[in-house]
Amino acid sequence: MEIALSPMEFARRARRIYADCEAVVDGDLRLSYAEFFERCDRWSAALQGMGVGQGDRVAYIAPNTHAHLEAYYAVPQMGAVLVPINYRLLPEDFEYIINHCGAKVVCAHEDYLEAVDGIRDKLTGVEHFVALEGSGEGWIDYEERLAAAPAEYTEVEIAETDLLTINYTSGTTARPKGVMITHRNAYMNIMGTLAHHHLTPADRYLWTLPMFHANGWTFTWINTARGMAHVCLRQVDPELIYKLIRDENITMFCAAPTVLISIANAPEEFRKDAPRGVRLFTAGAPPAAATIELVERDLGWELTHVYGLTETAPLITFCEPRPEHMNLAVEERARIKARQGIELVSSGELRVVDEDGNEVPHDGETLGEITVRGNVVMKGYYNDPAATNAAIKDGWFHSGDAAVVHPDGYLEIRDRFKDVIISGGENISSVEVEGCLLHHPAVQEVAVVGMPHEKWGESPHAFVILRDGAQATEDEIKLHVRDNLAHFKTPQWVSFVDELPKTATGKVQKYVLRGGQAGISRQ
């Protein structure tokens, strides 16, 4: 008898093999896998008692807590569809997503109860509101309802093509789109990650990455598949991160480059005595080689660069280390690690193509768009056939990412196509200029965008955050780029800022910078 490819298979196995192993740490709370899955089963039963059936949607608005993690098992194992929502969105975004997906139940952390209460009268399809923590009028207490529920739920037959989650994109330029991820999509992503990255039950994972972001890059299920401990982190706090790494013997975490920069550049008092050998994945934006150098040289951590999109479940490439890389100097190895790498063994076929759909030569120079087809590509955008047809053409998902392929087959993203700066007919990669500036000793973080220019059409504008106590002038910043890149790539303008606008997953919101919003202006 065939068994559906589903992350719930990893839960079944973990129940039998890792029952007594520590599963979850959330502050003072510690749960074994047996205790964790009993809670998941009770919540499945509680949801069924609320009338949630197969295919119904259950929305969550919560940081990385044990209750949020339980949703990745309790909701799908009884055939319902989980909708994890970016908690940093505005209430009107919550309203749109909840109504668009047709959620029957909304579960929210206490920090967001007030926001949901403000739109409650507009959420006409929601039948139950659950407070994961905290309380309020009209809210079901999660812990009370879970404790009162039976320890068993009514099992249903799940097909691998059934929806597992609907993950809404950030919606920075338009309405958020609901990415439909199937049980098979997630299963294949998990298997591909495990094939390339060795994990054991001795590993302990720190949740620096939001669980809602592409299902925590499927580490919500990967860790369980290997019997690892999930150590919850409710907000990114460098001091707490280093404390947990030491106290909880953390061996693995994931972080977007901007989050990684904040961790790597934390005050020395936080970083001192940090254990070496911690492994981490970074993705979400191309990391600069300078950031990789800092992490590996100064902290002694092992960084792996991966790449993917919410629409691809999410990982499709892995910057695989090869024996010949180990003999390279740290700086040269970091430049290779900054590339997106090669296909995962289970994700499907990836090609970088030109405007005519022809694969670009592997010369490290010719720009094309990343396209992918295969096991991890989403089922489509929920209730949005037009957007689905625009993104998936002839079976290939088009990413919108501009990349080159090196002679060794390693992929390197140069930009989002919408972020490529065209100045005087020349294409300028904002990522390349940012990478150059991050090698300046005074620069901690930087974002480069194209701004209108009377003569050149548009030119680069660098928004720079300086390191604590460091100083640099606009001319010094420009000269650094001029000395290291072609002259036409030199920023026309430099603004020194205290912070950059970012999404909840750490991506810089370049459209905000281009629009001159958030009080940021040119100098």
Do 109 and 235 form a contact (C-beta atoms < 8 A)? no
pLDDT score for 341: 95
Q: Could you tell me the two tokens for 311?
A: 């629409």
* Pairs from 230-233 (Cβ < 8 Å, separation ≥ 24): 230/23, 230/24, 230/25, 230/69, 230/205, 231/25, 231/204, 231/205, 231/206, 231/207, 232/24, 232/25, 232/26, 232/27, 232/64, 232/65, 232/66, 232/69, 232/207, 233/64, 233/206, 233/207, 233/208
Three-state secondary-structure class, residue 109: coil
Q: What is the DSSP letter of 273?
A: T
Q: How far is Cα of residue 443 from the mean position of the Cα atoms in its chain?
A: 25
Give the C-alpha separation, 5 to 146, whole Å: 28
What is the pTM assigned to this prediction? 0.87
- Phi/psi of residue 264, nearest 5 degrees: -70, -25
Segments of the chain scoring below 70 in pLDDT: 171-174, 286, 425, 504-505, 516-523
pLDDT score for 523: 34
pLDDT score for 173: 53
**Cβ burial 289-318 (10 Å sphere, 16+ → b, else e):** bbbbbbbbeebebebbbbbbbbbbbbbbbb
Give the C-alpha separation, 223 to 199, whole Å: 8
Q: Both ends of the chain: CA-CA distance in Å?
A: 67
**Cβ burial 123-138 (10 Å sphere, 16+ → b, else e):** beebebbbbbbeeeee
List C-alpha distances in Å: 359 to 50, 180, 296, 365, 407.
52, 28, 34, 13, 13
Q: Could you tell me the two tokens for 35?
A: 């205790």
Q: How far is Cα of residue 72 from the mean position of the Cα atoms in its chain?
A: 16
H or E, element range at 67: helix 66-74
Q: C-alpha angle 264/270/271, rounded to 5°?
A: 50
pLDDT score for 171: 58
Q: How far is Cα of residue 388 from the mean position of the Cα atoms in its chain?
A: 21
H or E, element range at 444: strand 443-453
What are the chain's domains? 8-188 (3.40.50.12780), 236-416 (3.40.50.12780), 421-514 (3.30.300.30)
Concatenate the DSSP letters of all residues of 150-161 into one string.
-S--------TT
Exposure of 288 in the CB half-sphere (CA atoms within 13 A) = 26
